[in-house]
Structure 1
Amino acid sequence: MRNDHFGGVLLMPLALYALAIGGFGIGLTEFVIMGLLPEVGADFGVTPTVAGHLISGYALAVAVGGVGLTALLHTVNRKRALLLLMVLFIAGNTVSALAATYEVMLAGRILAALCHGAFFGIGAVLAAGLVPAHRRAAAISVMFAGLTTANVLGVPFGTFLGQALGWRSTFWAITAIGIVAFVGIAALVPGTGAAEKAEHSGSGGLRVEFGAFRSLQVWLSLAVTVLGFGGMFGGFTYIAFTLTEVTGFTTASVPWLLVLIGVGLFAGNLLGGRFADRDPGRTLLVLIAGLALVLAAFALVAHIPWATLVALVLMGGFGFATVPGLQMRIMGFADRAPTLASGANIAAFNVGNALGAWAGGLGLAAGLGYTSPLWTGALITLVGLGVMAFAVVARGGEFSRRPLPVREAAPAR
């Protein structure tokens, strides 16, 4: 069986699955609050708007931590850095589970969120170093599979658990997942490899890490990430309104319909990693163009229930299929210091989330109807496609055959 098929995914190093468990816990922390917000708000006696800050505050902290913590940990070997980040994650969710006031709950959310960007940023570089060059995007996709699985399975079951046993039980469960991830990373992720030791012992330190941002292609990659995810979340943020007000589904069916998006996220992530290993530039162009088409088509067929079901899967699939390629692309152009650029790209995903939510809301506020966020998302994605096309032209045909200069975490196995 060829390694670029799904059988190859199953044969990845066990360390990648330890990283995926960490990603699952982090994804659960980020998204499960959406289903528990009414219970949390009622418990603390705050308005829905104030309770919503538990979501927006998390997103802002992810963006800050993605760059800030990655920079602070640049001299720490990657395994130890990931363990420290999981300690922060466990502490943040423990604080949330024990919170007696809204302010303490928000502090716990922010504490847990700080590790999010750095974990995926550092973890992506480590994951790429665990496998041969031709499997690096697939390795990154395995790590991010934990995040997508959290959307498919974790969020619905976490919401049900919180509704049945109280919302605090969900955060205790997430804390337990964090402990499992910590043990898995400690046991399965190899220690510092020779290449990484050389990187940390070399001159320049943090200055070298920030030197990656002198590359135009790094900035273009960040822009594509912001715009590509901004387009997806332009439609996704307000999808419940589209499903109930346009398609005619009941409010009670919305959580199950969102699972369809999660299925698309999971499949798209793995397929995107497979094809990005073959030709990153062409893969990203096709996927971003496909996402724009899916968003526009969704807006046109949103009144048809069966077509909406298909569109939900495709929106999740095309949206998240870009992640391995975007992550590998920025690491490839970050020269000798891919770690900070990788963390910055995770921050860019969350900036895109905020951009999409804001832009999608403009159409609703202007009275353009509940399909307007989908049209807005398609427009933002088209701008991202233009930036990606410019990046390809600027490279004279893209970096498909350019080797990825990621520091090996250990010899490939």
Structure 2
Amino acid sequence: MPFFVYLLGLAVFAQGMSEFMLSGLVEDIAADLGVSIGTAGTLTSAFAVGMIIGAPLMAMLSMHWPRRRALSAFLIAFLVVHIAGALTSSFAVLLVTRVVGALANAGFLAVAVATAAAVAGPDAKGRATSVLLGGVTLACVVGVPGGALLGQFWGWRSAFWAVVVLSVPAVFAVLHSVPDDAPAGAVPGARRELRALRRPRLLVTLLLGALVNGATFCSFTYLAPLFTHVTGVADTWVPALLALFGLGSFAGVTAGGRLADTRAAQVLVAGGAALLVGWVVFALTAGNPVAASVLVFVQGALSFGVGSTLVTQALYAAGEAPTLAGGFATAALNVGAAAGPSIGALALDGGLGHRSPLWVSALLVGLAAVVAGVWRRTSAVLRTRAAGRPPADRPLSI
């Protein structure tokens, strides 16, 4: 794997920090800027919306830029808006910086995925993708406790400056290491890439990615109250348990990256089934500290192992749309990341208890299994009809 792919992972880590750190800063931002906590919470929603809209849009706009120019432009824009966010005393300005930062983040990630997959070779897209998503999982581990810690000692603005500090070496790394030999999407052109994105296999894969990621972030968002109210652990242990989820996520991405290019079907079938069972078992045993500690790691690993494999399959399914496939895969994951916690909130607000997000996660993965099974059966019927043979029975799987 070329070394600069790992440098792209560093940039993704810095951007992931920005996404996750707000969870521990909302109260401080609200108090400092004179808004309610609920209003300050819209900063997270604004970032998610920017990621969903920005991933395909920014990928399309950057298709005819050289890779180095596209990546450096997005990263510099990301850095500048965080400087503005750290300096502003206006909530409206801060909200705008979150949206613009999300657009830059989405564009960078879409082009980075396409670039890494291109230089990794036709049979190593999974390994390249896992390096980038590994940056996201590490940010998941560090972002929430790191942002909260910085906020406690030096104020919420220090977390924004920390993102700037992390982004500066990434800018220089991109400028000096990324090859600038071709535009990120030079080969097919926008219209041909858009036609390729209409393939049913790709659309189903993106839907599965959204469902699995929705399940992941539905439970992850509400792990802290689950641990304190159901598992019964002290508040001081919650960061360690959240870190276990992040460590499991990193392990899952790493393993998924090594297997996604050669054993994707086995990862999706076995991993998807284990993921569904794991959410159910977690919901049933959440009151046991030992079981909860083991399962939070296992579910992190399975969630990101299956999720990263689905991203890789999206890239393989849209080989003629290398740039836009990365953008739409990014958007699909963020649709899940935004929708999952919202559905979990409905379950909590409906009085279903602190275990309810785990059950919602199980339902979302179960729905993914049904969608995958219907698609597998439908595609098998179409193939066998075309060949003039009766369809063979196939098991439902993700």
Counterpart residue number, 1:82: 71
Quick one: which amino acid aligns to residue 381 of structure 1? V
Task: Assess if the C-alpha contact under 8 Å between 2:348 and 2:354 holds in 1.
Answer: yes
The alpha-carbon deviation at position 396 of structure 1 amounts to: 4.5
Cα gap change, 1:390 to 1:79, in 2 (>3 Å): farther
Q: For each residue in 1:140-182, what CA deviation from the matched residue of structure 2 results, as whole angstroms up to 9, or x when unmatched?
A: 1012211111122344233212211111111111012111111
1:212–1:338 CA contact under 8 A, matched in 2: no
Equivalent residues in 2 for 1:6-405 (5 A)?
A: 12-193=1-182, 200=186, 205-394=189-378, 396=380
Distance 2:109 2:307 in 1: 11
Q: Is this contact kept in 2: 1:331–1:339, CA < 8 A? A: no
**Structure 2 letter corresponding to 1:41:** A
Query: C-alpha offsets along residues 289-347 of structure 1, whole Å, 9 cap, x if unaligned?
Result: 22211111110110001111111111211111123322221111214222112111111
CA distance in 2, matches of 1:372, 1:335: 39
- Report deviation, 1:131: 2.0
% identity of equivalent residues: 35
Is the 1:238–1:373 Cα contact (8 Å) retained in structure 2? yes
How far apart, CA to CA, are the structure 1 residues paired with 2:73 and 2:165?
16
Letter aligned with residue 375 of structure 1: W
Instruction: State the alpha-carbon separation in 2 of the partners of residues 121 and 356 from structure 1.
Output: 22
Q: Distance in 2 between matches of 1:268 and 1:174?
A: 25
Mapped to 1, the partners of 2:154 and 2:49 lie a distance apart of 29
Change (3 A) 1:390 1:338: farther
**Conservation of the 8 A alpha-carbon contact between 2:77 and 2:104:** yes
> Matched residue of 1:249: which SS?
coil
Report the CA distance between 1:201 and its aligned residue.
Answer: 6.4
How many residue pairs get aligned? The number is 381
Q: 2:19 & 2:13 partners in 1: Cα distance?
A: 10
Cα distance in 2 between the residues matched to 1:379 and 1:29: 30
Compute the displacement of 1:388 (Å). Answer: 2.6
Question: 1:342-400, CA deviations, whole angstroms, 9 ceiling, x for partnerless residues?
Answer: 11111111111122112212222222211111011101111112223344445559xxx
What is the one-letter code of the residue matched to 1:75?
Answer: H
| Aligned 8 A contact 1:285 1:389 in 2 | no
Contact 2:75 / 2:105 at 8 angstroms: preserved in 1? no
**Conservation of the 8 A alpha-carbon contact between 2:343 and 2:360:** yes
C-alpha displacement at 1:213, in angstroms? 2.2
Contact kept? 2:6, 2:131, Cα under 8 Å: yes
CA distance in 2, matches of 1:290, 1:79: 40
**Residue type matched to 1:211 in 2?**
R
Amino acid at match of 2:137: T
| Residues in 2 aligned to 1:192 and 1:284: alpha-carbon distance in whole angstroms | 35
Q: 1:201 to 1:308 in 2, by over 3 A?
A: closer
Note the C-alpha offset of 1:254.
2.0
- TM-score, length basis structure 2: 0.91
Give 1:242's aligned amino acid: L
| 2:354 maps to amino acid | Y
Letter aligned with residue 318 of structure 1: L
Retained in 2: the 8 A contact 1:263–1:316? yes
Aligned Cα root-mean-square deviation (Å): 1.8
The one-letter code of the counterpart of 2:227 is L
Aligned counterparts of 2:161 and 2:46: Cα–Cα separation in 1: 20
**1:323–1:78 CA distance, 2 compared to 1 (3 A):** farther
Looking at structure 2, the residues matched to 267 and 138 of structure 1 have their Cα atoms a distance apart, in angstroms, of 13
Consecutive unaligned residues in structure 1, runs of 5 or more: 1-11, 398-413
4+ long deviations beyond 3 Å? 389-397
Q: Distance in 1 between matches of 2:110 and 2:308?
A: 12
Tell me if structure 1 keeps the 8 A contact 2:33–2:90: yes
Q: Give the alignment's TM-score, normalised by structure 1.
A: 0.88
Q: Deviations over 1:21-53 (max 9, x none)?
A: 111111100001111111111111211111100
Residue 318 of structure 2 aligns with an amino acid whose one-letter code is A
Give distance in 1, aligned partners of 2:378 and 2:10.
Answer: 38
Tell me, in whole angstroms, the C-alpha distance in 2 between the residues paired with 1:201 and 1:233: 35
8 Å Cα contact 1:90-1:175 kept in structure 2: yes
How far, CA to CA, are the matches of 1:92 and 1:30 in structure 2? 13
CA deviations on 1:40-76 (whole Å, 9 max, x unpaired) are: 1111121111110011111011101111111111111
Instruction: Report the Cα distance in structure 2 between the residues aligned to 1:391 and 1:335, rounded to whole angstroms.
Output: 20
Question: Which residue does 2:389 correspond to in 1?
Answer: none
Higher deviation after alignment, 216-225 or 161-170: 161-170
Contact 1:244 1:250 in 2 (8 A): yes
Partner of 2:353: helix, strand, or coil?
coil
